[in-house]
Amino acid sequence: MTDALQVLLVEDDPNVRLGCEQALQLEDIRVLAVDSAEAARSRVGRDFPGVVVSDIRLPGMDGMALMAALRQIDADLPVVLITGHGDVTLAVQAMKQGAHDFIEKPFSSEHLVEVVRRALDKRRLTLEVRSLRAQLENRGQLEGRLIGRSAAIARVRQLVADLGNSAADILIEGETGTGKELVARCLHEAGPRRAGNFVAINCGGLPDTLFESEIFGHEAGAYTGAARRRIGKIEHANGGTLFLDEIESMPLPLQTKLLRVLQERTLERLGSNTPVAIDCRVVAATKCDLKALSDQGRFRADLYYRLNVATLPLPPLRERREDIPLLFEHFLLQAAARHQRPAPEADPARTARLLAYDWPGNVRELRNVADRCVLGIEAGFPPFAERAPAPTRVLADTVAAFERDLIADALARCNGSLARAAEALGVAKTTLHDKIRKYRLGGAE
């Protein structure tokens, strides 16, 4: 987003500096103007959120030396040089040394803006890629994997941290697409069995005829076609974590056999009478109410209680709408890197549609929308599908109510501190103060 970036303008001539500053500001480009390379140098760090436009001829350190110093800090920082008469050869040399571009005096405002916008676009993409790489490198941290600032997802992270080091079997409850396998992997990596295998079994994806062989294993000759011994999924998870997804879809006869393995912590491969000791943690996941299914006789009650030592409920996306913009931006960056395309610019109208949608497919559906957005094919796909026009005021009221709840939640979590709440929400304190007055929330200092 170029409007979130800025231009550091270095020019010692006050008239030229003022003219460049005004030309950029008229195009809604943020500008910080200084009169020396030394002043500019002190303001630039590795992830400086913008670009540098500098005259070559400066008192003290010149523009060429400034560029060399800045490239030592951040080799990807775009530096645009302003050249006077006789400096073009020097500017061409600077381009070979890594300058983004140069502008020869005299130049028009339009040309300046055009060059700066190209530099800002390049910087935006660089910073987005860095952000994505940092997230991928920090995948072991819960905040980098279970993304969100809502109280609901904070509770999930806390439960994962509390239960990760325990040996308790865990039942994860959540709708389709809420991230049950991701949470199971986080539990595995947070515990002492992280060095062992994480073995996932989709209980609804295996035919009954293959289920026993897949999860218990078999000996050679156990049945027609069993040419050699096979180690089953449960045995493969020994020393690690066994993840049983869609446990509610497991047929009742197989539930009985699984219950015995979980109780005895031993199994027998098909065609064998020799018990094999099993030491693994079991994490099961369901999108249904297993207690209700057991009351109806559709799921073994004893297996339910065996699995349900600890419960970890996952909230649907519609119950943590404040996380949608952050999650969507995260998925956009991932999709942009995967498809090798630039991430789309921020769009307030798109964000409003994302917030207003109910997300029956939860986080998985949001990820799909991000992929389609990067590919430019989001039209016709919820929440962007054509629908009957609704009264404008209904959307405005919905967005306002959501914004009010989000601000109230931030103030509560920050104990009424205006400064901390503004930082958490990513807005200026004056903006937050105006919204607090608008929604009559009060109580902030």
* Residue 316 per-residue DSSP state: -
Return mean pLDDT, the chain. Answer: 85
Angstrom distance (rounded) from CA 435 to CA 414: 16
pLDDT at 393: 45
Using a pLDDT cut of 70, give the percent of the chain over it. Answer: 91
The torsion angles phi and psi of 104, rounded to 5 degrees, stand at -95, 130
* Residue 383 per-residue DSSP state: T
pLDDT at 178: 95
Cβ contacts of 202-209, under 8 Å, gap ≥ 24: 202/245, 202/246, 203/244, 203/245, 203/246, 203/247, 203/248, 203/249, 203/250, 204/245, 204/246, 204/249, 204/250, 205/246, 208/251, 208/254
Mean pLDDT (whole number) for 353-375: 92
- The answer on pLDDT for 387 being more than 60 is no
**To the nearest 10°, the Cα dihedral for 138, 142, 147, 151?**
-150
pLDDT tens digit sequence for 107-148: 999 999 999 999 998 898 888 777 766 655 544 477 778 888
pLDDT at 310: 92
CB atoms near residue 119 (< 10 Å) = 23
pLDDT at 54: 94
Q: Are 275 and 266 in contact (CB under 8 A)?
A: yes
The torsion angles phi and psi of 277, rounded to 5 degrees, stand at -70, 140
- The answer on pLDDT for 221 being more than 90 is no
pLDDT tens digit sequence for 258-306: 899 988 999 989 888 899 998 899 999 999 999 999 999 999 999 999 9
- Tell which wins on pLDDT, 61 or 441: 61
Using a pLDDT cut of 90, give the percent of the chain over it. Answer: 41
**Pairing verdict, β 170-173 and 310-313:** parallel
Q: Are 221 and 238 in contact (CB under 8 A)?
A: no
pLDDT at 53: 95
Query: pTM for the full model?
Result: 0.59
Angstrom distance (rounded) from CA 254 to CA 273: 18
Cβ contacts of 379-385, under 8 Å, gap ≥ 24: 382/357, 383/353, 383/354, 383/356, 383/357, 384/350, 384/353
The residue type found at 388 is A
Mean pLDDT (whole number) for 216-245: 89
Angstrom distance (rounded) from CA 119 to CA 412: 41
What are the chain's domains? 2-137 (3.40.50.2300), 142-315 (3.40.50.300), 318-351+362-387 (no CATH), 388-445 (1.10.10)
pLDDT tens digit sequence for 20-46: 999 999 998 999 999 999 999 988 888
Which tokens sit at 21?
């500053």
- The answer on pLDDT for 158 being more than 50 is yes
pLDDT at 391: 45
pLDDT at 395: 55
Angstrom distance (rounded) from CA 420 to CA 303: 47
pLDDT at 442: 63
* 331 pLDDT tier (thresholds 50, 70, 90): very high
Which strand (E) or helix (H) includes residue 55? strand 50-55
pLDDT tens digit sequence for 165-177: 888 899 999 999 9
